[in-house]
Amino acid sequence: MSEKLAEAALDQLFRTARTYNAFLPKEVSVEQLHALYDLAKFGPTSANSSPMRLVFVTSKEGKEKLKPFLSEGNRAKTLAAPVTAIVANDHTFYEKLPQLFPHADARSWFVDNQVLADITAFRNATLQGAYVIMAARSIGLDCGPMSGFDNAGVDEAFFAGTSIKSNFLINIGYGDASRDLFPRSPRLSFDEACRID
C-alpha cells in the first residue's frame, strides 16, 4: 500500500482525465459495471454506512423515463451516453448497519435521529459517487458527472415508495475527445485552497 502509483495511472485518474460531454458509440458491458462497483464499494464511509444506491440507466426505456427530468443542456448528451448512473442516497441506510458495522450497535445512532441520518446519507453517498468516478476511470471508462436535473421527478420515477433520493448523475462510457470537450478550466493553487496549521 505504500507504493506510489505510476505516473500514467495518476494521469488517467486525475491529471489528464476529463469531464466528457460526448461518448463514442461503444457499449459498456454489465461486467464492467460490476467491476466498477466492486472497486468503488471499498472507499471509506462513516461507520461503513455505505448509503449510496446506484441505478445504471442503459436501456432506451430507462433513458426515456429519465428524459423529462433532464435540463435542456444535459438532455441530448445524457440520452446519447451508453450509461447514466443515478447516484442516490438511502436515507434509511442504518437498517443495513447490523450487517455492515457488526461490532457496535451503530443502527441505534441513527434510527431515532433522522436529521443525523439525512446528513450522514448525503455526505457519504456523495463521497461514494466520487469513488464511482475514480473507479470508472481506473478501468478505462470516462465520466461526465452533472447536476442539472429535477431531483424530485427522478425520485418519483425511479425511487417511489422508498427512502432513496437522487443526488447527482454520471454519464459513463468512452469519451469522444473530438466533440464538445471544453478546454480544462483552471484549478486553485495549493496556497489558494489550503493551509497548514
Confidence of residue 116 (pLDDT cuts 50, 70, 90): very high
Q: What's the average model confidence in pLDDT over 41-55?
A: 98
Partners of 141 in the β-ladder: none
pLDDT at 75: 97
CA–CA distance, 85 with 143 (Å, rounded to integer):
10
Q: What's the average model confidence in pLDDT over 124-129?
A: 98
Query: What is the side-by-side order of every strand in the sheet holding 52-57?
Result: 52-57, 83-90, 164-173, 142-146
**Average pLDDT over the chain, rounded to whole?**
97
CA–CA distance, 56 with 83 (Å, rounded to integer):
6
Percent of the chain surpassing pLDDT 70: 99
Q: What's the average model confidence in pLDDT over 20-38?
A: 97
Q: What's the average model confidence in pLDDT over 146-161?
A: 98
Q: What's the average model confidence in pLDDT over 129-158?
A: 98
Q: Which residue ranges make up each domain of the chain?
A: 19-175
Nearest of 124, 140, 121, 133 to residue 169 by alpha carbon = 133
β-pairing verdict for 83-90 and 142-146: unpaired
Q: Which CATH architecture has domain 19-175?
A: 3-Layer(aba) Sandwich (3.40)
pLDDT at 78: 97
Give me 71's grid cell.
435540463
CA–CA distance, 188 with 122 (Å, rounded to integer):
25
Residue with cell 469522444: 176
- pLDDT for 52-81, tens place per residue? 999 999 999 999 999 999 999 999 999 999
Q: What's the average model confidence in pLDDT over 173-187?
A: 92
Residue 158 per-residue DSSP state: H
Residue 127 in 3-state DSSP?
helix
pLDDT score of 1 more than 80 = no
What b/e sequence results for 22-33 when a residue is b if at least 16 CB atoms lie within 10 Å of its CB, and e otherwise?
bbeeeebeeebb
pLDDT at 32: 98
Q: What's the average model confidence in pLDDT over 85-104?
A: 98
pLDDT at 197: 97
